[in-house]
């Protein structure tokens, strides 16, 4: 081994040092500097043993290091052997990436120029994301018609009306939403079923608390409808119930129609049952009506705002008539330019028409005077019952043609007048007795 150096001592020693054992220049210079600082005797006596000790220590350290880290050394050696191939692969990949960058830049430029903030694809994507985030709410809205149908079937009217109000509020808030419009249309169609169910309740046997609740539900169902319409619907439903009860008397009516002789026994049976049902139901309808609708409708007024005078109904000569709220209501119906009266007035007139028709057809068949007076007394009781609610009609019957057949002292009309007078006397005595008792 040959080497050039500026240190004469190193030049002198190099021929005696094996080529594989030549240390690094830094180590060599450090050791030579230390060696030249030692005396000759030390170099000859102690330096060889010091070098041997150092050599032995380094050998032990290398052995210990190889024992502890031989696996890591082997792994590092394996990795080091594959490092050139890995670096070559990485270099190739980097070259491919570098060649692909121009096309990637072009694609990015095309994307940014095509898909702007207001472009249709991005708008559709935003709508889809919004739809996904509100999916639960949309499902709740879409289930409202099914929920409303279930509530109506279960007759849970308060919850059904709350649901219907919620749908109407959604329609007001989102009038352009196709989903809300579709749900609103379906619920409004079900609203007719709700109204039919409420009307069916009003047509059935009914107690006052249930009737008041049902009318309240009906008001909420129809919304801002005219109060007169609600009152009219109630009266029509209760009248249908009355007609159903009277229809149950059809077998008796057929017997009364077929009766030719016998003194009117079958007619008397039919009239008696008919008057009982009429009295009970008409009073019940009127009383229920007054309780549910305590305030009457505005009276008829003229165009100038003043109350229109009520014309008095005329009677035939020789007969006295008592004034009643019914005759007043009937007169108000014919006033030109006046407001519409309370629907109950027309209903009272309809009840009187029914009573007049029945009396006209069957009272004349009853030949026994005592039986006729008993039936006429029932008529007076019915009139008195309605009279407590402002619907007395006793005086109206006297002047109607064909109700009481026959004239003169023995005529049925004279009998009716006598019954009326007798009832007035009894009523006066009752009032006097009650006043005395107080």
Can you give the pLDDT of all 438 residues of the chain as single tens digits? 444 556 777 777 777 777 766 677 777 788 888 878 888 888 888 888 888 898 899 899 988 888 888 888 888 888 888 888 899 999 999 999 999 999 999 888 888 877 777 778 777 888 888 888 888 888 988 999 999 999 988 888 899 999 998 999 999 999 998 989 999 999 888 888 888 889 999 999 989 999 999 998 888 887 656 788 888 899 999 999 999 999 999 999 898 888 876 677 888 899 999 999 998 998 888 889 989 988 765 543 333 333 333 333 333 333 333 333 343 433 344 333 445 677 888 888 888 888 888 888 888 788 887 887 788 788 877 777 776 666 666 656 665 555 565 443 445 555 666 666 665 666 565 566 666 765
The rounded distance, in Å, linking the Cα atoms of 31 and 305 is 134
- Model pLDDT, residue 2: 46
Burial category of 48 from C-beta neighbours within 10 Å (exposed 0-12, middle 13-18, buried 19 and up): exposed
Task: Find, among 405, 359, 354, the residue nearest to 378 by Cα.
Answer: 359
The rounded distance, in Å, linking the Cα atoms of 241 and 201 is 10
Task: Find, among 325, 344, 324, the residue nearest to 239 by Cα.
Answer: 344
In DSSP terms, 307 is beta-bridged to 301
Two tokens, residue 236: 């029509």
Whether 321 contacts 398, CB under 8 Å: yes
Residues 6+ apart with CB under 8 A from 243: none
- Model pLDDT, residue 131: 83
CA separation, residue 174 to residues 128, 179, 180, 185 (Å)? 19, 9, 7, 14
Which H or E element spans position 318? none
Identify the three-state secondary structure at position 333: coil
List b or e across 15-30, with b for residues whose CB sees 16 or more CB atoms inside 10 angstroms: eeeeeeeeeeeeebee
- Model pLDDT, residue 48: 86
Q: What is the CA radius of gyration of the chain?
A: 57
- Model pLDDT, residue 15: 77
Count the neighbouring beta carbons within 10 Å of the beta carbon of residue 376. 26
The rounded distance, in Å, linking the Cα atoms of 438 and 21 is 147
- Model pLDDT, residue 327: 39
Torsion angle, alpha carbons of 337, 339, 343, 347, to 10 = -30
- Model pLDDT, residue 420: 63
């Amino acid at each position: 081994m040959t080497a050039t150096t500026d240190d004469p001592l190193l030049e002198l020693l190099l021929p005696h040092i094996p080529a594989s054992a030549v240390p690094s220049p830094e180590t060599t210079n450090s050791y030579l500097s230390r060696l030249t600082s030692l005396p000759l005797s030390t170099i000859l006596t102690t330096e060889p043993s010091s070098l041997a000790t150092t050599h032995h220590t380094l050998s032990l350290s290398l052995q210990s290091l190889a024992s502890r880290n031989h696996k890591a050394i082997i792994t590092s050696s394996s990795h080091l052997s594959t490092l050139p191939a890995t670096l070559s692969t990485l270099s190739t990949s980097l070259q491919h990436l570098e060649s692909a960058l121009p096309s990637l830049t072009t694609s990015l430029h095309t994307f940014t120029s095509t898909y702007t903030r207001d472009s249709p694809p991005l708008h559709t994507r935003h709508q889809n994301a919004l739809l996904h985030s509100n999916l639960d709410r949309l499902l709740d809205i879409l289930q409202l018609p099914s929920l409303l149908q279930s509530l109506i079937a279960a007759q849970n009217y308060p919850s059904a009306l709350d649901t219907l109000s919620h749908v109407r509020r959604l329609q007001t808030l989102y009038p352009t939403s196709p989903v809300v419009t579709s749900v609103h249309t379906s619920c409004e169609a079900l609203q007719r079923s709700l109204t039919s169910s409420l009307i069916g309740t009003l047509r059935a046997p009914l107690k006052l608390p249930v009737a008041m609740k049902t009318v309240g539900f009906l008001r909420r169902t129809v919304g801002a409808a005219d109060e007169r319409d609600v009152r009219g619907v109630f009266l029509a439903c209760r009248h249908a119930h009355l007609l159903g009860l009277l229809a149950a008397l059809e077998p008796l009516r057929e017997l009364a129609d077929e009766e030719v002789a016998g003194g009117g026994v079958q007619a008397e049976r039919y009239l008696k049952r008919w008057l009982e049902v009429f009295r009970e139901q008409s009073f019940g309808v009127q009383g229920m009506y007054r309780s549910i609708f305590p305030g009457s409708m505005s009276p008829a007024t003229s165009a100038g705002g003043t109350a229109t005078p009520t014309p008095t109904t005329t009677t035939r000569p020789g007969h006295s008539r008592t004034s009643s709220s019914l005759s007043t209501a009937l007169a108000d119906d014919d006033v030109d330019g006046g407001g519409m009266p309370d629907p109950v007035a027309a209903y009272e007139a309809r009840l009187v028409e029914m009573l007049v028709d029945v009396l006209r057809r069957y009272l004349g068949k009853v030949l026994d005077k005592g039986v006729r007076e008993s039936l006429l007394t029932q008529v007076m009781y019915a009139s008195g019952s309605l009279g407590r609610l402002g619907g007395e009609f006793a005086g109206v019957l006297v002047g109607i043609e064909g109700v009481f057949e026959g004239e003169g002292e023995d005529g049925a009309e004279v009998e009716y007048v006598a019954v009326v007078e007798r009832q007035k006397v009894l009523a006066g005595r009752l009032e006097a007795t009650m006043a005395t008792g107080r």
